[in-house]
Amino acid sequence: MTPAARLQAAIELLAEIEKSAKPADSAASAYFRDRRYIGAKDRRAVAETVWRVLRRKSRLDWWLVHLEHPDADNLTGQWGARARVLADLVFEGVQPDPELFRGAHSAYAPEPAERRVMDMLSEQKSIFHRDMPPHVRGEYPEWLTPRLTALFGERLVDEMGAMRDEAPVDLRVNTLKASREDAARALAKEDIKSTPTKLSPLGLRLARRVPLVQVQAWRDGLVEVQDEGSQLVALLTDARPGMAVADYCAGAGGKTLCLAAAMENKGRLVACDVAEWRVDRAGDRLRRAGVHNVTKRVIGGESDKWIKRAAASFDRVLVDAPCTGTGTWRRNPDAKWQLGETDLLELVGRQKDILASAARLTKPGGRLVYATCSLLAEENEDQIAAFLATHPDYEVVPVPQLWGEIIGGECPVPGPYLRLSPLGHGTDGFFGAVMERKAV
């Protein structure tokens, strides 16, 4: 592809992502599937531009308005995407020269009024400007400012700055097949450098992104992709060999795999979810990992009869609730631009119902772990407070009390809950609460 054709593809894909209700990576897969003529190298270059624009969208828009770009009043659709891509190009040190847009791509060449904006942009030393408000600097939706300010106070800009950057690739070592040292050695043989993660005893952080499907250690089930924070949440469930464990919102099995390894394949592990297609996707991963103590169960929601039948029969119940995903914005920068306040309110209602329903499964003396990959108190601490107010048979077990025995090393949070963030811990944003059902 010529540079102009790549730019055109980036503009089209950005507009497609904005229009589509799907996550950006699904929209990108669909876009490239329909255009098989775009080769792997070009796909990577186009995706790189699109993801960079998504990560700096607020700041690019701020500049376009500040410098009175002709489309600044309406930065939507193809024209909005085009204005952002061209501005991004300038911040990458490339002038959108008319020469670049010769022939078939001439419609994308900047017009004189836009050229003036591009010229002014190219004089800027930084994409930041002292007049940018915190939500523009931190690249998050303005409506979240009061909530995030209440959470982070003076650290707001730094915390959200850390959430802006690209996340590292973390792998969890499958202890059913290898120790962390063995897995690191196997990766090194394939020329893949990794370092042990600081908090999770199971994690390896890669020095660079690699296509894992081509990696033998991954194909052999020695490692799986899982953010360090997600590993810690699964570990805190403290699933042990011989226990009965329910992974209530198992999805495609990210945490199920970790629970099964902690159980050494012994005992009963039920992976539930309402979405059959997600549970189905867990199949290959479980096989690759050599896991054979998992029963998959698609439930019809909170009134599913199985929940009544299985009441009070699990030693551990993990609820990895559907959430806003505000802790994973490093990986999914588009998600923040699709999230609205009504989505948050709707999720809070669902989480409350799911937690109450899953709580019926815990044995007296057993533990219920509630987790989200959200930063927001409404989905986390407030959710637990409301649950405890209506469930006097449950009490919180402070995370620092469990950390040493289950995970080892110094507990990185004051407690009582696990609260992780990219700035504080180098992980995705995660929340975890451990509650014990009082023995009768």
Ligand X SMILES: C[S@@+](CC[C@H](N)C(=O)[O-])C[C@H]1O[C@@H](n2cnc3c(N)ncnc32)[C@H](O)[C@@H]1O
Q: How many other CB atoms are found less than 10 A from the CB of residue 146?
A: 9
Binding mask 55-94 for ligand X (x = CB under 6 A): ----------------------------------------
Binding mask 195-234 for ligand X (x = CB under 6 A): -----------------------------------x----
Residue 322 engages ligand X in binding (rule: CB under 6 A):
yes
Closest CA to 329 of 402, 410, 227, 188: 227
Residue 278 engages ligand X in binding (rule: CB under 6 A):
yes
Residue 344 engages ligand X in binding (rule: CB under 6 A):
no
How far apart are the C-alpha atoms of 269 and 361, rounded to whole Å?
13
To the nearest whole angstrom, how small is the minimum distance from the Cβ of residue 439 to ligand X?
27
Angle of helix 40-55 versus helix 3-19 axis, rounded to 10: 50
238 in a labelled binding site:
no
Strands 268-273 and 430-437, how do they pair?
unpaired
What 3-state class would DSSP assign to 317?
A: strand
To the nearest whole angstrom, how small is the minimum distance from the Cβ of residue 91 to ligand X?
34
Amino acid identity, residue 377?
Answer: A
Residue 96 engages ligand X in binding (rule: CB under 6 A):
no
Residues 6+ positions from 367 with CB-CB distance below 8 Å:
237, 238, 315, 316, 317, 397, 434, 435, 436, 437
Amino acid identity, residue 162?
Answer: A
25 in a labelled binding site:
no
Residue 151 engages ligand X in binding (rule: CB under 6 A):
no
Residue 273 engages ligand X in binding (rule: CB under 6 A):
yes
Extract the tokens encoding 297.
């169960």
Strands 294-298 and 223-225, how do they pair?
unpaired
Among 62-70, 185-193, 248-256, 404-412, the segment contacting ligand X (CB under 6 A): 248-256
How far apart are the C-alpha atoms of 164 and 160, rounded to whole Å?
6
Nearest CB to ligand X, comparing residues 255 and 425? 255
To the nearest whole angstrom, how small is the minimum distance from the Cβ of residue 354 to ligand X?
5
What are residue 81's phi and psi, to 5 degrees? -60, -40
Extract the tokens encoding 168.
């590292």
To the nearest whole angstrom, how small is the minimum distance from the Cβ of residue 64 to ligand X?
35
The length of the chain is 440
To the nearest whole angstrom, how small is the minimum distance from the Cβ of residue 307 to ligand X?
9
Among 33-41, 65-73, 215-223, 271-279, the segment contacting ligand X (CB under 6 A): 271-279
Among 146-154, 155-163, 272-280, 379-387, the segment contacting ligand X (CB under 6 A): 272-280
Q: Which residues bind ligand X (CB under 6 A)?
A: 230, 248-252, 254-255, 272-275, 278, 301, 320, 322, 354
| Residues marked as catalytic | 373
| Binding-site residue ranges for S-adenosyl-L-methionine | 273, 320
